[in-house]
Amino acid sequence: MEQHRSRPSNDGPRRGTPQPAHLPSQARGRSDREGRSGARAARAEPGPRLPNPRLTGLGSGLFCVVVMFLLGCLDALLFDGYMPVYGVLFLPVCVLTALWVRAGDVLTAPVVVPIAFALGLIPAAEGNGGLLGRLMGVFTGLATQAGWLYTGTLFAGVIVLVRRVQWVRRRRRRT
């Protein structure tokens, strides 16, 4: 059953509130209805846009862990647990985790990424002989693939530091 909107959308500024300075002068002087369409036209950008989600600290941790576990399963299935493939796939996950976490929780990304790397190794690591054999394979994978782990954590750390500095500067300018 389709429900129709009973209230108008809140696309533009209300009457009596100051208009943002970044809008063109034509959009600032129009009536409320015309100003909304002018503001929409000023905000429109051509071409497709990349997704830009903002995850909480917990959400980014879950994203990273789930993706790395699935990539570990995929590596074990397609490449028979070939660790360099797992390491290469780890790097974009680190970058996405650092970019998609929201500004207030940005410092959680470099903490979450190594944990996700270790948990993703569980299906990808070589290990036969039950639980202890699998655990030994995870420790061996952590030891032999430490370069990928450090590189991905460094990527996430640098991105997080840059984003944090930008966030602090914006907050200082506002006050």
Tell me the average pLDDT across 46-69.
85
Alpha-carbon distance 108 to 62, whole Å? Answer: 12
Distance from the first to the final alpha carbon of the chain:
48
Q: How far apart are CA 20 and CA 22, in angstroms?
A: 6
SS3 state of residue 168: helix
Q: What is the mean pLDDT of residues 160-174?
A: 90
Mean pLDDT of the chain: 80
Which pLDDT belongs to residue 94? 95
Same domain for 43 and 63?
no
Question: Over the stretch 115-147, which tens digit does the pLDDT of each residue have?
Answer: 999 999 998 888 777 888 888 989 999 999 999
Q: What is the pLDDT of residue 68?
A: 95
Answer yes or no: do 160 and 77 share one domain: yes
Instruction: State how many domains the chain has.
Output: 2
Adjacent-strand bridge partners of 55:
101
Per residue in 12-50, pLDDT (tens digit) is: 555 655 555 565 555 544 444 444 444 444 555 567 776
- For residues 36 and 73, membership in a common domain is answered with no
Residue 51 has pLDDT above 80, yes or no: no
- pLDDT for residue 7: 57
In a domain, 19, yes or no: yes
Tell me the percentage of the chain whose pLDDT exceeds 70: 72
Tell me the residue range of the domain where 152 lies: 57-174
Distance from C-alpha of 13 to C-alpha of 46, rounded to nearest angstrom:
23
Exposed/middle/buried for residue 30 (C-beta within 10 Å: 0-12, 13-18, 19+):
middle
